[in-house]
Amino acid sequence: MSALQLQFAQLKQAYSQSPYPDYQQRRQQLTALRQAISQHSDALCTAASQDFGYRSSDETRLLEIMPSLSGIDYHKKQLKSWLKPEKRHVHYSFMPASNRVMVQPLGVVGIIVPWNYPVYLALGPLMAAIAAGNKAMLKLSEYTPATNKVLTAICQQALAADVIVIEGDAEIAAEFSRLPFDHLLFTGSTAVGRKVMQAAAANLTPVTLELGGKSPVVIAPDADIKQIAKRILFGKTANAGQTCVAPDYVLVPADKLELLISELCQAFIAFYPDFATNPDYSAIINEAQYQRLMTMLEHAHSSGARVINCDVNSDAASVNSERRLALQLIVGADDNSNLMEQEIFGPLLPLIPYHTLEEALHYIQQRPRPLALYLMSNDSDTQQQVLKQTHVGGVCINDTLVHVAQDDLPFGGIGPSGLGNYHGKEGFLRFSHQKAIHKKGWFNSGRFIYPPFNRKVFKAILSWLTR
């Protein structure tokens, strides 16, 4: 038995000794987790910056720590109502009886965490798993070793008996995926998600896959470009675009293309003045990711696309030892390039002009279903048209990114962008089994339908029930 298998077996044994933690115990666990996060918040910010090469502490607090604390508060507030058994209807032919649904923990769940938001994408699923009464194993990314140390300390302080933290490379991740978890949640790329699902299938382990995809922005003809430019920019430049729900391309009315370029560039300068030394902009996580983005950018140049560097004082193609890359707007990108076929995961933003909204929607419909869609429009008919004619994981109207931080909205993809969802009540239910319970009393109405079936009373009842 490997060390990983042994750790899993120990956690499974611990769960079997306490298979249904009560409300007070779960609430206490969530409180302890919140306190530990707060106590280690400075360390988390320092560690995240160290792992990325540089990341603003304010950005880590805003995008990772704040939603983690808010999510725990929401779970604590709603937990008692979520735990209440739900009464269900009983057909009159089975009376007297009662029906109810009881939510029960699954057992030991596995959570595979990516590198781009190593704090929130560990703690978000973890709080849901704990609220649902489970034990958990976390597999953290090998690309965030400093953050992993702090997260391990948090879990040991708050949930030492309930959570085991694992680190390691792809080989460890593969072994982790093969463990017979009661549920496995993976956040990462679609390509790796397929492998995780295949590994889990050997144990019939149910999976939740939070993947990516090319999330579009649709600027409707009625949208005010000056008003929405900063909203698009925030979603694209947060964490330097290294976000699974970052806008991946923008569909813009052809007659508003130049205005959009101007407004995005002006907004970028306003957001990040003196870009080379600006303290608010994140670095690209590592050299491999940086070179991947530069290759995309170089291909755009060589294929004749128009590339606009929003940092007017620098050359985006030059070598950058700090891996800082300003927003690059790209018009006329090759539809068959990696830029347009793969999730970008960085500050490159293709702009695609269109002539009719139907043309824009057709463009989205012809591509794999994305994780998010951002619609910029104040027209209710346009909003309904887009909502009804697109299949996406989630929609944000007149903003970007922030739908993920809504405590009471489910989050997840559809098709190649994901399988299943969590956050809020959906997260609690994702890590629970909804047990159906049918209860009879001393009087048994079922005796009238027992064999032998040649009795007159049976024939009469069957005729009445199937009338």
Active site residues: 210, 244
41-63 b/e with 16+ CB inside 10 Å = b? bebbbbbbbebbbbbbbebbbeb
Q: How far apart are CA 467 and CA 459, in angstroms?
A: 12
CA-CA distances (angstroms) from residue 242 to 119, 121, 186, 437?
Answer: 14, 13, 17, 45
Phi, psi of 209 (to 5 degrees): -115, 115
Residue 20's CB is within 10 A of a number of other CB atoms, namely 9
Task: Please report, in angstroms and rounded to a whole number, the separation of the first and last CA atoms in the chain.
Answer: 60
Q: Which two tokens stand for residue 225?
A: 């470009």
Cβ neighbours, 10 Å, residue 156 = 13
Separation between Cα atoms, residue 127 and residue 71, nearest integer Å = 8
What whole-number distance in Å separates Cα of residue 62 and Cα of residue 234? 12
CA-wise closest residue to 26 among 162, 186, 195, 117: 162
Examine residue 21 and say whether the peptide bond preceding it is cis (omega within 30 degrees of 0): no
The helix/strand/coil state of 374 is strand
Backbone angles phi, psi at 161, to 5 degrees: -90, -5
